[in-house]
Amino acid sequence: MKFLIILVLIITSIGILFENILQMDEDMLLISILSIVSSITLYINYMLKKEINTNHIIEKKLKDLNDSLEDRIAEELTRRVQQEKILEQQTKMAAMGEMMDAVAHQWKQPLNAITMYEELLRSDFEDGIVDQEYIDNFLEGTMLQVHHMVKTLDEFRGFFREEQNIEVFNINKTIDSVLLLVKDEFMKNNIAIEVIIDTDHLIQAKENDIKHLMLNMINNSKDAFNEKDIKNRRIKISSKIYKQYLNIYFQDNAGGIPTNIIDEIFKPNVTTKPSGKGTGIGLYLSMQIANKYQGTISVENSDDGAIFTFKIPIYQQKSLIN
């Protein structure tokens, strides 16, 4: 409405201007020109205010949109963090079940040995050949088996300890700890593990994270062996230093990964296992662990299996992880 009034004023002023030009009235001509200038000024002011109001509206809409986007991004980040925590907990529970089974297998042999010692002691006592030396040897053999059981239990407890801090440790000892936990389980599945790491290598991380990663690697091979019913089962763990990084290779002869999913294998819910037998979480979380310490994991197929490469920086005293 205001725009129409200003427009009428401008048109009226122009009409008066032409009328005064025809009448040669200089005073009225000046008044008419001033009137036109005033009307145009009003028009310009009106358009400027209109544009300013439009800009304010646009700015408000943009601000509302930005606020909305920030809220949605925050919600999505929170949802993803919660989802990853759930996935991590699921993997931890699955690993705990496997470890409990491994501990049961680890304890079976020493318990059988202690039972055998007890039967021998009873028989030899009846035969009258039990003396101090016999008792000393009996106790030594029994304590050796008990020590093995306690060590296995300590490894199991340490494996799931959450309050562990980032530390510098020897990767060779970490591999030995993992293999101690799964030794009997892999023997039962007729899987031979060969470790070729001649030099001690130091890395900086939470050791339990690296144990979880390694356990996922070798258990992945174990599951592939059992699914494909492969007879001569071998896993080779080796290492190589390359440009301040330690590369640890997990190589098996379990037939490899199907080419249609090998590029997606580290994504959540991607699995080579039959429906109902795999969650696709283990390798995904292994990649998250590697990334957490500026590392990565890659995989490629060989002639008869798969080669997983875990790459992590070698410990440098001046480059501590905060």
Q: Could you report the per-residue pLDDT of 275-287, keeping only the tens digit for each?
A: 545 556 778 888 8
Closest CA to 92 of 34, 31, 162, 32: 162
Give the Cα-Cα-Cα angle 237, 106, 288 (nearest 5 degrees).
Answer: 45
**Which residues does 184 contact at the CB level (< 8 Å), separation at least 6?**
102, 105, 106, 108, 109
Q: Which pLDDT belongs to residue 280?
A: 60
pLDDT confidence bin for 69, thresholds 50/70/90? confident
Q: Which pLDDT belongs to residue 296?
A: 94
Q: Which pLDDT belongs to residue 234?
A: 95
- 304 has pLDDT over 60: yes
Upper half-sphere CA count for residue 167 (Cβ side, 13 Å)? 11
pLDDT confidence bin for 95, thresholds 50/70/90? low
pLDDT confidence bin for 165, thresholds 50/70/90? confident
Closest CA to 215 of 257, 259, 255, 180: 180
Helix, coil or strand: residue 240: strand
Contact present, 240 and 249 (Cβ < 8 Å): yes
- 184 has pLDDT over 50: yes
Q: Which pLDDT belongs to residue 319?
A: 47
Phi, psi of 280, rounded to the nearest 5 degrees: 75, 20
What's the rounded mean pLDDT across residues 152-168? 70
What's the rounded mean pLDDT across residues 108-123? 77
Q: How far apart are CA 6 and CA 11, in angstroms?
A: 9
Q: Which pLDDT belongs to residue 24?
A: 46
Amino acid residing at 136:
D
Q: Which pLDDT belongs to residue 25?
A: 53
Closest CA to 212 of 158, 254, 278: 158
Mind listing the pLDDT tens digit for each residue in 7-23? 555 556 555 555 555 45
What does the DSSP 8-state code read for residue 264? G
Q: Which pLDDT belongs to residue 16?
A: 54
Q: Which pLDDT belongs to residue 81?
A: 77
Mind listing the pLDDT tens digit for each residue in 222-274? 989 988 888 899 999 999 988 889 999 999 999 999 988 888 888 876 666 65
Q: Which pLDDT belongs to residue 322?
A: 47
**Which residues does 99 contact at the CB level (< 8 Å), separation at least 6?**
156, 159, 160, 181
Q: Which pLDDT belongs to residue 320?
A: 47
Q: Which pLDDT belongs to residue 235?
A: 96
What's the rounded mean pLDDT across residues 177-185? 82
Q: How far apart are CA 251 and CA 257, in angstroms?
A: 12
Q: Which pLDDT belongs to residue 106?
A: 63
Phi, psi of 49, rounded to the nearest 5 degrees: -65, -40
Upper half-sphere CA count for residue 6 (Cβ side, 13 Å)? 14
Ranges 42-46, 65-69, 216-220, 302-306: which has the least confidence: 42-46
Q: Which pLDDT belongs to residue 309?
A: 96
Number of residues that make up the chain:
322
Please state whether the predicted TM-score (pTM) of the whole model is above 0.75: no
What's the rounded mean pLDDT across residues 93-122? 71
Contact present, 166 and 192 (Cβ < 8 Å): no
Q: How far apart are CA 278 and CA 269, in angstroms?
A: 9
